[in-house]
Amino acid sequence: MIKKIYRSELDLYNLSLKKTTNTKNQKYFDYKNIVVNKPWGYEYLMFENKEVAIWILHIKYDFLTSMHCHPKKRTSLFLLDGRATITTLDSQFNLGYPEGLMIDSGVFHSTKATSPEGIFLMEIETPPDKNDLVRLKDKYGRENKGYEGKTEMSNKLHQYEYCSFNDIKEIMTKKIVHDKIKKRTIQIKQNKSFDSFYKHIKELRSGIFSILDKKIEHNKEVIYPGDIIDLQNAHKYNKIKLSNFISLIIY
C-alpha cells in the first residue's frame, strides 16, 4: 500500500502557531559521509541531487520521531525493514514492507518503531532542505528546536548499517549501482528511456520505484520526483515517453 496524505485544517492551524527554523544566515551543510545520531536512533543521507534527498533512518524499538512537519517540502516514507506506526494529527497507519506514505508539505507526522529489532525507513525529501522543519511535540525535549548540530554527527560509518549512493560520477559511469539494507536491494539507475526501465522492473514482484530527477505525466496524473510507486502498478506507465532520467528501485 502506498497512500497519499494531504494537509488538513488541523495541520494548518498548528503550523500557524509555530515558526520554521530560521536559516537566513545558515550556510549549506554537506551531510554526505556522516551519520546523524538521534535520541531514537540515527539517520544519514544516502543520495542527493537538485530535486531530491534520500535519507535512511534507523529507529529503535518503541522509540519515535518528533511530531513534526516540513512546510515547504514533500516527503515519501517507505519501510525497508520491520514494522512501524506513522501518526498524523488526523490518522494512524500501521506499515510494513512493502508499504509507504507520500506526505504533503505541512502535514505533521511521527514514526514509531513497533518491531522488536527496530526499523529501517527510507525518507525521500523534495526539494532537499534539512532545515525546513517544525517540531510540534517531542518526548526528547527538542520541541521548537532546529535540526541536529555537529555534536550529534559521526564519521565512523563502520559502526552503523550504512550504504551510500553519493558518488554521482559512479552512477553516470556504471549506469546502475546497488547495495542492500537488511533484505532489501536498493538500486539507483540511469535510464535512456522509460521503455528500457519498464523492461528492467516488470518481473519484480514487490517493492517500489521512484523517478529522481523528472516528473511523469500520465493521463491527468502527475508523478513528481521523489514520489513512490508500487512496482505492481508499474504496468500503468509502460507507454510513457520519458528519456534520460535517474530512478530508484527497491525490491
**Are the C-beta atoms of residues 54 and 110 closer than 8 Å to each other?**
no
Give pLDDT, residue 220. 86
pLDDT digits (tens, 9 = 90+) for 70-96: 999 999 999 999 999 999 999 999 999
Q: Please report, in angstroms and rounded to a whole number, the separation of the first and last CA atoms in the chain.
A: 14
Identify the structural domains of the chain with CATH numbers, from first to last: 2-22+35-154 (2.60.120.10), 168-250 (no CATH)
pTM: 0.94
Q: How deeply is 11 buried, as exposed, middle or buried, from its count of CB atoms within 10 A (0-12, 13-18, 19+)?
A: buried
Give pLDDT, residue 203. 85
Give the span between the Cα atoms of 83 and 226, in whole angstroms.
22
- Four-residue CA torsion sign, 164, 170, 171, 177: negative
Q: For the sheet with 67-69, list strands across it.
A: 92-95, 84-88, 109-113, 67-69, 134-137
Give the span between the Cα atoms of 76 and 223, in whole angstroms.
12
pLDDT digits (tens, 9 = 90+) for 165-222: 988 778 878 889 999 999 999 999 999 999 999 999 988 888 999 999 999 998 888 9
Percent of the chain with pLDDT strictly greater than 90: 82
**Once rounded to an integer, what is the mean pLDDT over residues 98-126?**
98
**Once rounded to an integer, what is the mean pLDDT over residues 38-55?**
97
Give pLDDT, residue 238. 87
